[in-house]
Chains A and B, each alone.
Chain A
């Protein structure tokens, strides 16, 4: 997962200390030395490939005729490519439906564990988190078996009680089935982030709320949730990035339900197929770039709108 701007923004707001200029310079050098390894890897593994694929995306290469400079033609083509736009739309739908469910569940579990009322909280925490430790490849294969229409356990039980065979892998239902897999995988991960944030809320706030006569639900709603809003925002942004970059799930489900998963089911999967099946590497680079820009814009809008709301709330209160 990539680093969120939300975290660094919080940290940089610490008040600056005043030091003499020499010791500050020394400190600065030390700081640069500490971040140097990160920047070396960051530049070699991220910036350089990024610049290279940006460069590639400006060319057009054909099986006959080779490579020619094409300017922004690939980008123009992508913006008119119905398959690409449909994949973005599909992920938009995925985001609108799946992310609230997943984060709602994560928040619910985090609050339940934090309340201290649930028995066996430690074990439950581990169990909820465990699916995240299962690699996406294994998870998808496992769900592929569970979803199977003839011999999958869900279908067998459904038939045994006379419900007929559920078609989890049909073209109409595959998106929902995928949402379920992703939810199962990432509820625990998001829960841990929220739970950690809940643990850092100072206890006095709860005492004050209790003195004011607030019950557990009221405390959760009026104290806990507002207090962990930055962490919630963080999970939302992670989810935006994660959703629009879905790759392993469609790529694996494609072996089980190739008729339901089209080559352009998700933007990332489309870029992969363009590059390695259609051999349109340059066009794939343009798609990947557009996708990156799109994710950056959506993440920025979400962050901006929550910040504005916070500001508005602060001025009104």
Chain B
């Protein structure tokens, strides 16, 4: 591969495949071979390419190759108005659009120093926990399917469909919701929204029991997961791992509890932690998290405050449709926001939230104009992928599949 006559001659050019080489000079006994896994491989959850050096079936070296989904979202943000960036944030991680919306809106609100009404904040918490359940249901179904337990997928997608129906009901879209705005929510939730969430929240605990009945006692599932993909707490911290993999390695850290945002400090929930650090621990931690999310949803439904869903900031928040028909100022503000955006005072902020995959952070820089000067996303999957080699070396190829499933990566988020 290194002496490929067709390789372009560019200084600093390294083909990823050349980083992993078979070593025939070590004799036929120690001979290793290179295996290319992906980018189109069903268990890589997207377009992840992994180049493996294997000795028999044991992984000796592992190099992830990413960038197949790079769409330049950060560059696109710089050409949009502040409010036009919200739909772009959905596309970063298609499994937790609301979390992305929330993180971006919080960053914008911090720059503008806006005060958000309680009802909007509680709605954000409720929808974020539903998003976490949605994402964890997809993870559980696909992870079990990778291991060979095909049935679970059908069960989890049944409940996920219900959550997506709620999203469609509240925002008009199943996946690319774009429901949050800088300054609050897009719309008041429809009348039967809370009752439909309530009926879902009521059945979810027994559904989670059902998944556990299928998996937690299953000896094949346990054997495939226990002791596989070990990651120590020190390695997890030094490699930038966050979220459930970090908590499964014994680090008790959850941004919702430790650095609360959007009124999470008003909710009671436990942060599940395990000290085992393997794929099995990550499975248990995520299942516990789903149960806690259900509890948070219930608390949000019980205590949902009344009031406005938008901040009192007419130069930032679009006015109500009804007011536009009767009040001249509303019409003018609407016209100004839509045509020339709103100006955000110069400065920089970093806002982090706990996404289903770990710490999601938005770093937003404003130069005082109506367009962001720079928006950077710190995505949990991107950092967690760095730990893949540590978790896989010395294990079998089949374990690589289990480990990739257990860190729950979304490639759209890695490549942006």
Asked if A pairs with B, the answer is no
